[in-house]
Amino acid sequence: MAEFTSLRAAIEDLVPDGSVVAMEGFTHLIPVAAGHEVIRQGKRDLTLIRMTPDVIYDQIIGMGCAVKLIFSWGGNPGVGSLHRLRDAVENGYPRPLMIEEHTHAGMATRYVAGAAGLPFGILDGYVGTDLSDHTNVATIRSPFDGEEVTAVSALNPDVAVIHAQQADRRGNVGLWGITGVQREVALAAKNVVVTVEEVVEELDLRGPNGAVLPSWTIDAIAEVPRGSHPSYSMGYTRRDNAFYTRWDAISRSREIFAKWIAEYVSGPDDFSTYLAALDDGTLTSLVDDD
Partner 1 sequence: MTENGYTSDEIMSIVASRHLRDGQVCFVGIGLPSEAANLARLSHAPDVVLIYESGTIGTRPEILPLSIGDGELAEQADLVVSVPEIFSFWLQAGRVDVGFLSAAQIDRFGNLNSTVIGSYEEPTVRLPGAGGAPEIASSAGEVIVMLRQSARTFVEAVDFISTVGFGRNGEGRERHRGAGPTVVITDLGVLEPDPRTNELRLVAVHPGIDTDDVLDQTGWPLQVASDLATTEPPSGEELRILRELKQRTAIAHAGP
Nearer to a copy of itself, 105 or 249 (CB): 105
Distance CA 287, CA 218 (A): 39
Q: Is 4 a residue that touches partner 1 (CB under 8 A)?
A: no
Shortest reach from residue 187's CB to partner 1, in Å? 5
Sequence-separated (6 or more) residues with CB below 8 Å from residue 272? none
Shortest reach from residue 153's CB to partner 1, in Å? 16
The single-letter DSSP state of residue 264 is: I
Nearer to a copy of itself, 64 or 121 (CB): 121
Q: What is the dihedral of CA 47, 101, 77, 41, to 10 degrees?
A: 10
Peptide bond into 268 cis (omega under 30): no
State how far the alpha carbon of 54 is from the alpha carbons of 73, 95, 120, 163, in Å. Answer: 9, 19, 26, 15
Nearer to a copy of itself, 33 or 123 (CB): 123
Site pattern 35..74 for partner 1 (x: CB under 8 A):
----------------xx------------------xxxx
Q: Is 180 a residue that touches partner 1 (CB under 8 A)?
A: yes
Give the one entry of a copy of itself, partner 1, none that residue 272 binds, where binding means its C-beta sits below a cut-off of 5 to 8 angstroms depending on kind. none
Pairing mode of beta strands 98-101, 191-200: unpaired
Nearer to a copy of itself, 96 or 119 (CB): 119
Q: Is 100 a residue that touches partner 1 (CB under 8 A)?
A: no
Q: Is 127 a residue that touches partner 1 (CB under 8 A)?
A: yes
Nearer to partner 1, 40 or 174 (CB): 174
Q: Is 217 a residue that touches partner 1 (CB under 8 A)?
A: yes
Sequence-separated (6 or more) residues with CB below 8 Å from residue 107? 51, 70, 71, 72, 155, 181
Residues in contact with a copy of itself by the rule CB under 8 A? 117-124, 136, 138, 140, 142-145, 147, 149, 151, 153, 210
Give the one entry of a copy of itself, partner 1, none that residue 138 binds, where binding means its C-beta sits below a cut-off of 5 to 8 angstroms depending on kind. a copy of itself
Distance CA 268, CA 274 (A): 8
State how far the alpha carbon of 177 is from the alpha carbons of 184, 206, 209, 234, in Å. Answer: 15, 9, 5, 6
Distance CA 177, CA 171 (A): 20
Shortest reach from residue 139's CB to a copy of itself, in Å? 8
**Is the CB of residue 36 less than 8 Å from the CB of residue 17?**
no
**Is the CB of residue 223 less than 8 Å from the CB of residue 3?**
no
Q: Which residues bind partner 1 (CB under 8 A)?
A: 1, 26-28, 51-52, 71-75, 77-78, 81-82, 85-86, 89-90, 101, 103-105, 108-109, 111-112, 115-118, 123-131, 134, 148, 172, 177-181, 183-184, 187, 207-209, 211-212, 214, 216-217, 232, 234, 238-239, 241, 244
